[in-house]
Amino acid sequence: MKSLGELFGCFKRQPRQGEATAPANQSTSDTPSMGAVASGMPPPKRPAPAESPTLPDERNVDEPGIPLKEALKEANNAKIAVFYSQNTSDEEKQILEIEAILKALKDPADVEKPLEIPDVQRIRVSSASKKAIQYLTLHNSWPLIYIKGNAVGGLKELQALKKDYLKEWLRDHTYDLIVIGGGSGGLAAAKESARLGKKVACLDFVKPSPQGTTWGLGGTCVNVGCIPKKLMHQASLLGHSIHDAQKFGWKLEGKPEHQWGHLRDSVQDHIASLNWGYRVQLREKTVTYINSYGEFTGPFEISATNKKKKVEKITADRFLIATGLRPKYPDFPGVKEYTITNMAERIRKHMIAYGLKFESGVPTKIEQIEEKTDEKAGKYRVYWPKKNEETGEMQEFSEEYNTILYAIGREAVTDDVGLETIGVERAKSKKVVGRREQSTTIPWVYAIGDVLEGTPELTPVAIQAGRVLMRRIFEGANELTEYDQIPTTVFTPLEYGCCGLAEEDAVKKYGKENIIIYHNVFNPLEYTISERMDKDHCYLKLICLRNEEEKVVGFHILTPNAGEITQGFGIALKLSAKKADFDRLIGIHPTVAESFTTLTLEKKDGDEELQASGC
């Protein structure tokens, strides 16, 4: 991730006389092992914040104020702090009003345990640092108030907070942080905050699916997403490899057969080991793990209900919502009782070639014909409207199936968390509306991952956001999570990897006349002898900007092992690579990835479909 120093150039300064120079590139991050890349790849609903122009280095700005890094640390460590810059009469007037509001919260002398109101710590910074802080927090109000390390806003935002909320905020609580949700992002945040010396609790509880399915600690990715998906994908690939092996001279005795029960048990055993490993990691890092469903019953209070319906009330200074998503269900008979839950035209064609049939329609009803047992699958009849090709009229159509999988998207698990009780703003999607990861309405509540409005629904994004956020709110770090140019992969039979913009999004953002697309099809060498039908469907393209020296803004590939290829090339887009950089790179021969170093064919409207050739 970029630091604000890279964006503004205002953090670096020469060491004062006698100061030691910190070692460069010192890393304190935890070892990542939270799962494979998530399979879905929705585009961000809002763009990542644009980079601000580089400001003069703070060393060269002749104005008072402590260095930004020190200022952020001071604000983080103070109970109440106010950033100011010009020391004008207007700033002084607002700071005095802020102090008056806080002093008015003081309890009468006869209260048994009166609330102590600490003095407001004033922190003066340069105008360059002011802009950097406003960019970091997305608060334009100034002077800027911090309470217990959380950016509140200015005088107006302070006045908007309920007095009893503000008063309760200044009291002591059991935990520094309560994380609601033990998925990839929640676990990463809990462990990182504990590493920073904070007292942390992590709540995780899985409500059963309509068919009664539950799972252990680790969230969707580990239990019912990335990990089992990739393992089953690998099982399918191995089936094809058995066929290929014979073409390459391997003699196999008898007809190979697949044992589904063995695969299922092996996958579940691996997931169970991960569940246990996460519990051990939390214990080792002194994170309190609570297997209960958390719900706000007060601005700083969570009621945690376990499976025995026993309720425990716990409090904290701040909260992180990391509850993730659960599958959506349409509203028609049979959909919840009889179904289970979980691209592009080239992928569709490839799957059709494998024998998959696509029907265009929305089911209206599902009926059970035969009940499923442990030994065999059930049988179901699905009804949907279909156009009669002869008459052109819509008629009800039905077919029988053994399994029905719904994959129409997921929705945020925020309805039963009590967010409306304390006033956390949510979007129509039920996701938390954030200023960065911080709630726009309740400054001690944060959200990451799939439940934060406008961010990609991907496991590594949640992990990164959780770690970066904890360093920012507990250490005053000048870091932000970058929500753009994220490499990801869909593990279809022929994998699809991408990074950056889709062709349609690039045209919409930059205009068709400013876009140039280089593309080609190719035949992987390993598919030649085996005569795999997949060889006719491999494809790649680079989307570039004409008016910016053909800067690459989109990378796409349909190929075996697309995930491994995309992860490697993703760094090129992060470093603003141009088409010429891909051309200068010498490829590894014979590989699929080398095709990106020899792209010369420009995609144009009306071109005939490309035909693949070998190396």
Over residues 59-116, the pLDDT tens digits come to 444 578 899 999 999 999 999 999 999 888 999 999 999 999 999 998 887 888 888 8
Residue 285 pLDDT > 90:
yes
444-457 tens-digit pLDDT: 999 999 999 999 99
Find, among 561, 613, 568, the residue nearest to 587 by Cα.
Answer: 568
Gap between the Cα atoms of 519 and 585, Å rounded: 17
Q: Given the residues 173, 262, 270, 589, select the one marked as catalytic.
A: 589
Token pair for residue 207? 């409500």
Q: Which helix (H) or strand (E) holds 567?
A: helix 562-574
Per-residue pLDDT at 25: 38
DSSP 3-state helix, strand, coil percentages of the chain (rounded to 5)? 35, 20, 45
| Domain boundaries defined on the chain | 68-170, 177-250+259-328+410-475, 345-401, 487-596
Same fold, 68-170 and 487-596: no
Q: Does domain 487-596 have CATH number 1.10.10.10?
A: no
CATH 3.40.30.10 fits domain 68-170? yes
CB 420 within 8 A of CB 439: no
Nearest Cα neighbor of 337 from 209, 232, 458 is 209
| Structural tokens at position 291 | 């297997």
- Residue % of the chain over a pLDDT of 90: 64
Residue with tokens 């796409």: 556
Q: Which residues contact 97 (CB under 8 A, 6 or more apart)?
A: 155
Which tens digits make up the pLDDT trace of 334-388? Answer: 655 554 443 867 788 888 887 888 888 888 889 999 988 888 888 999 998 988 8
Ranges assigned E (strand) in 448-570: 488-490, 496-500, 515-521, 539-545, 551-558
Does the domain at 177-250+259-328+410-475 match CATH 3.50.50.60? Answer given as yes
Task: Mark whether 173 is an active-site residue.
Answer: no
Tens of pLDDT, residues 514-561: 999 999 999 999 988 988 877 788 999 999 999 999 999 999 999 999
414: Cβ–Cβ under 8 A, 6 or more apart, which residues? 321, 323, 426, 430, 431, 432, 451
Note the pLDDT of residue 536.
Answer: 80
Long-range CB contacts (within 8 A, 24+) of 565-568: 565/497, 565/592, 565/593, 566/487, 566/488, 566/489, 566/497, 566/498, 566/499, 567/487, 568/593
CB 158 within 8 A of CB 437: no
